[in-house]
Amino acid sequence: MIKHNYLIKQYEKTGKLRINHNYLREQFSDFRKIFEDLEKLIQDGDYTLGKPVNEFEKNFSKMINVKYAIGVNSGTDALTLSLKALDVGYGNEVITTPNTFIATVGAIVDSGAKPIFVDVREDYNINPDLIEEKITEMTRAIIPVHLTGRPADLGSIIKIADKHNLYVIEDAAQAIGAKYKGQKVGSFGITGCFSLHPLKNLNVIGDAGVITTNDHRIYDKLLKLRNHGLRDRDVCDCFGYNSRMDAIHAAIANLKLKYIDKWNKRHREIASFYIENLKESVPVERDYEEPVYHRFIIRHSIRNELQEYLLKEGIETKVHYPIPIHLQPAAKYLGYKKGDFPIAEEQANTILSIPLYPQLTIEQLDFIVNKIRNFVYK
């Protein structure tokens, strides 16, 4: 019935089924082969770049259906290096949303450019209708974030970007495998930025990221930028970063990549189960999208009480994210105030991420749904 030992132990101890929001421990239980691969890697001495990274990049580009993939240190670096490769920096503006993970905005600020926020729609993604009014002479790029694993409205965004001669950099950190009109996200923009952080759908045991692109010139630039700007061992073409993907993570990611379609399918099945059984306040899929539900978000007017109730019942939930970035202390200098992005702000007060990962059993899912319904219809 309930597969995972420690859950059963918790249950016996407390009488309550403890369901974590994440699955850090379970995710490696089926992967003993990793140790064989690592043993070989250690013997080969191929620790920086080399074969494991090349192989992973080849397989990843195939999976997203793009010409090139570049393994880097993190999803954050994927964004930072993309901006750098496109010469976006001081004096430029970059448009994104205020309800993303901090890193999207951190990368923009790090480049020297100014982040310009645009409010979102009910799918938590950028509202294309509000983009054009924010475009100025200084705007160079739009970074749509495929938040929760749901594709942003790429068709509308790319139309606007083309009209104004702007780059689109996709923040696909939460959306590996998600499709917009049948095509994988990360293949639409000049670059696609992915994270392999332990909490993402495809993950390693530390930090890693990937950039995808179809542009040969950008690919060449990124290969250099991640490795100190070196053309070869001795000649530096441009000053860059040490942002190589570690071989150890490449080996792990390469092995896990074989399962990502299966896991994403399971994510979608669980989401369907939630949507079917929770009815109100669940995501309504748009006809262009096939999400991978990195997070499954429900909404409730007394969110904090619902969260507390669920925790008491043994169900851990999270809020992604409680403070929109324009209201963060770090963003004070940008001059935004409460009320500037009403949809994102309202969502921040009502959203709740409930557990969703392939290892959840039907018993656990039933339990979660019943407890939420108990609270909602009490």
| Member of 20, 76, 212, 307 binding ligand PLP (CB under 6 A) | 76
Contact 156, 179 (CB under 8 A): no
CB of 261 to ligand PLP, least distance (A): 20
CB of 98 to ligand PLP, least distance (A): 12
Residue with smaller CB distance to ligand PLP, 20 or 74: 74
CB of 51 to ligand PLP, least distance (A): 23
Of 85, 12, 357, the closest CA to residue 198 belongs to 357
Beta-strand runs (E) in the chain: 68-72, 93-96, 114-117, 139-142, 167-171, 179-180, 183-184, 191-195, 209-213, 289-290, 296-299, 351-354
CB of 12 to ligand PLP, least distance (A): 35
Residue with smaller CB distance to ligand PLP, 76 or 127: 76
CB of 325 to ligand PLP, least distance (A): 11
The residue count for binding ligand PLP (CB under 6 A) is 15
Under the criterion CB under 6 A, does residue 297 sit at the interface with ligand PLP? no
CB of 208 to ligand PLP, least distance (A): 7
Residue with smaller CB distance to ligand PLP, 61 or 125: 125
Under the criterion CB under 6 A, does residue 186 sit at the interface with ligand PLP? no
Residue nearest to ligand PLP (CB): 75
Q: Residues near 45 by Cβ (< 8 Å), separated by ≥ 6?
A: none
CA distance 40 to 58: 20
CB of 233 to ligand PLP, least distance (A): 28
Q: Where are the alpha helices (DSSP H) in 88-205?
A: 102-111, 154-163
| Member of 4, 197, 256, 326 binding ligand PLP (CB under 6 A) | 197
What single string gives the DSSP state of each residue in 15-48? SS--B-S--TTGGGTT-THHHHHHHHHHHHT--B
CA distance 280 to 373: 10
Under the criterion CB under 6 A, does residue 75 sit at the interface with ligand PLP? yes
| Residue 130 per-residue DSSP state | G
**133's tokens:** 């009014």
CA distance 327 to 320: 15
Under the criterion CB under 6 A, does residue 291 sit at the interface with ligand PLP? no
CA distance 157 to 160: 5
Strand 289-290: give its sheet, edge to edge.
183-184, 179-180, 289-290
Under the criterion CB under 6 A, does residue 74 sit at the interface with ligand PLP? yes
State which amino acid sits at residue 78.
A
Query: Strand pairing partners for 197?
Result: none
CB of 124 to ligand PLP, least distance (A): 11
CB of 331 to ligand PLP, least distance (A): 16
**363's tokens:** 């018993």
Site for ligand PLP in 90-119 (CB under 6 A): 100-101, 103-104
**207's tokens:** 């930090």
CB of 170 to ligand PLP, least distance (A): 10
> Buried (b) or exposed (e) across 125-141, using 16+ Cβ within 10 A?
bbbbebbeeebeeebbb
- Torsion angle, CA of 330/336/342/343, rounded to 10 degrees? -50
| Member of 125, 174, 212, 227 binding ligand PLP (CB under 6 A) | 174
Residue with smaller CB distance to ligand PLP, 123 or 171: 171
Binding string, residues 134-173; x marks residues near ligand PLP by CB under 6 A: -----------x-------------------------x-x
Under the criterion CB under 6 A, does residue 209 sit at the interface with ligand PLP? yes
Return phi, psi of residue 98, to 5°.
-85, 0
Question: Among the candidate windows 74-82, 116-124, 300-308, 340-348, which touches ligand PLP by CB under 6 A?
Answer: 74-82
Contact set with ligand PLP (CB under 6 A): 74-76, 100-101, 103-104, 145, 171, 173-174, 195, 197, 207, 209
